[in-house]
Amino acid sequence: MSVSAQGLTALRAPGGWAGPVIDVDVHVHVPSIRTLFPYMQQGWRDFIVERAVGTPPSFASVYPQNAGNVVRPEWRPENGGLAASSLELVREQALDAWAVERAILNCYWGIDSVRHPDLAATIARAVNDWLIDEWLDRDDRLRASLVVPAHTFADAVAEIERVGSHPGFVQVMMPVRAMQTYGRRNWWPVYDAIVAHDLVMGMTWGGTSEGPPTPSGWPSYYAEEWAGEQGVFMSQLTSMVAEGVFQRYPTFRLAVLDIGFNWVPSLMWRLNKEWKGLRRTIPWVNEPPSQIFRDHIRFTTAPLDDAPPSESARFLRWLGEEMVMFASDYPHAYPGDYRRFLDALPESARPKIMADNARAFYRL
């Protein structure tokens, strides 16, 4: 199967999808750290120059720009610059290409790998201000995740307090790899802020944790690591369910991004089964995990993986038509033919996947 843009840009070709499209995961990248200088105090600009601070390291390790699936060839800027780094690029290649009603921007820039707490907070503030200035204020179709410094929870809270009320921000980006499992009570102050501002928690690809991403150490190959990242998401969802995040926060909304949905039914079934016998040990989990998933969590179409469209349709049926939202994951290059996927679905599911589920979940 070839990795082609046909799947996405063909979406709007004659015979394709003609209804509304809400794209819940459009990645944008900060061109360079200097881009953020207008949004920092002079003292921090000086610090960055003096210490030769560049792009945070996990941006390159999470999204190695020359890895096959990170940027589709036709979406690389001709001048050799960074993909998805300007509104003009993103408009032409994504927003207009599949004629979105709305798109949610996710600017993963590896802030989690900045260990210096104040530098991390400075960069996070700057990224959010840049997103407002250069993106949200310039195109009504756009909404975005706000980014937070992940290691110092109080700083994450402060940033949510600072910009969380901006109407363009609908989500707080929390990368899937974290210093602690996301169910743990230490996160409660961050969740208090997320819920107080009525934002969605966006569990995105990336992050920095204290240790390797797998229970068996560090993968050798990028393909191996990419495929196995599913396990990190599985463990984070298990943690959030087990620790009662959704009982403590009955309005909590979690979007699970950039990891598809085929794997979810198997996990739901296992969690349900485990819960029936171990309920007493986590007594606040007073309903089946599958119900918690349906009430609080949504997934995205990307990547469709190599599943035959009829099998993707089966996974969706097991999961529920309301559970999945369309995401291009621009500028990533994932295989998956969206035309064939939609054709394999019941007609009732198509508008839900392409727009209605996102409109309801994000209240767009």
* Contacts (Cβ under 8 Å, ≥6 apart) of 62: 108, 110, 205, 206, 207
| DSSP result, 80-93 | S--TT-SHHHHIII
179 binds other proteins (CB under 8 A): yes
Q: How far is CA 163 from the centre of its chain?
A: 19
Kindly state the smallest distance separating residue 202's Cβ from other proteins, in Å.
16
Per CB under 8 A, the segment of 140-148, 194-202, 270-278, 345-353 that binds other proteins is 270-278
* Contact pick of 25, 243, 258, 329 for other proteins (by CB under 8 A): 243
Residue closer to other proteins by CB (options 47, 188) is 188
Question: Do 244 and 284 touch, CB atoms closer than 8 A?
Answer: yes
Residue closer to other proteins by CB (options 21, 241) is 241
Q: Among 253, 251, 244, 239, which residue's Cα sits nearest to residue 284?
A: 244
346 binds other proteins (CB under 8 A): no
217 binds other proteins (CB under 8 A): yes
Percentages of the chain per state (helix, strand, coil), in multiples of 5: 50, 10, 40
Kindly state the smallest distance separating residue 145's Cβ from other proteins, in Å.
19
Q: Among 109, 104, 135, which residue's Cα sits nearest to residue 120?
A: 109
DSSP code, position 73:
G
Residue closer to other proteins by CB (options 41, 310) is 310
User: Interaction with other proteins in 275-304: which residues (CB under 8 A)?
Assistant: 275-284, 286, 288, 290, 303-304
99 binds other proteins (CB under 8 A): no
* Contact pick of 45, 166, 184, 359 for other proteins (by CB under 8 A): 184
What's the residue count for the chain? 364
53 binds other proteins (CB under 8 A): no
Kindly state the smallest distance separating residue 22's Cβ from other proteins, in Å.
24
Kindly state the smallest distance separating residue 47's Cβ from other proteins, in Å.
30
Q: What angle do CA 363, 328, 5 make, to 5 degrees?
A: 155
Per CB under 8 A, the segment of 38-46, 64-72, 80-88, 129-137 that binds other proteins is 64-72
